[in-house]
Amino acid sequence: MGMERSSFLVGADGKLVRIWRKVKPAAHAAEVLKAAAALG
């Protein structure tokens, strides 16, 4: 058992918008940025 990375995207209203579990850091930042940009 190792470390499990998770990311959370929180909207401007403070509500949880999306959760990513068991992410790989290499490409994950681009995916989060795309999801954040889609919020407007």
- Percentage above 90 pLDDT, the chain: 75
Q: Is it the case that residue 2 has pLDDT exceeding 90?
A: no
Domain spans in the chain, listed from the N-terminal domain onward: 6-39
Q: What is the pLDDT of residue 21?
A: 95
Nearest to 7 by CA among 21, 27, 24, 25: 21
Amino acid identity, position 17:
V
**Cα atoms in the 13 Å half-sphere on the side-chain side of 40:** 1
| pTM for this prediction | 0.78
Nearest to 20 by CA among 39, 35, 2, 37: 35
Q: What is the pLDDT of residue 3?
A: 87
**According to DSSP H, which parts of the chain are helical?**
25-39
What is the mean predicted confidence (pLDDT) over 16-34? 92
Q: Are 7 and 20 in contact (CB under 8 A)?
A: yes
At 40, the pLDDT band (50, 70, 90 cuts) reads confident
Mean pLDDT of the chain: 92
